[in-house]
């Protein structure tokens, strides 16, 4: 017997907007069996992270008016 497809996985479409995917995953958590909640949450977290990265990039471009940014993070040194 073939395994049934997981109901939490949205169809992979290149045109699906990220916001729609986040909404879809959010609604799937509500009715998901307990064993599937963790995988849905992981996918939702990844989608939210991707959304935040896109927003950071857009904000940086607007703030810097297209100029390259300098890296602000530093690596701690011992000593």
pLDDT digits (tens, 9 = 90+) for 28-60: 998 899 999 999 999 999 999 998 998 898 888
Examine the pLDDT at 69 and tell me if it is beyond 60: no
% of the chain with per-residue pLDDT over 70: 62
- The DSSP string of 5-16 is PPTTSPP--TT-
pTM of the model: 0.60
Cβ atoms of 26 and 58 closer than 8 Å: no
* CA proximity to 36, closest of 45, 28, 48: 28
């Amino acid at each position: 017997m073939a395994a049934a497809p997981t109901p939490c996985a949205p169809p992979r479409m290149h045109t699906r907007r990220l916001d729609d995917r986040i909404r879809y995953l959010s609604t799937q958590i509500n009715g998901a069996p307990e064993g599937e909640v963790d995988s849905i949450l992981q996918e939702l977290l990844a989608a939210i992270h991707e959304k935040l990265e896109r927003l950071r990039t857009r904000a940086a471009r607007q703030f810097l008016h297209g100029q390259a940014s300098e890296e602000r993070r530093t690596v701690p040194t011992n000593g």
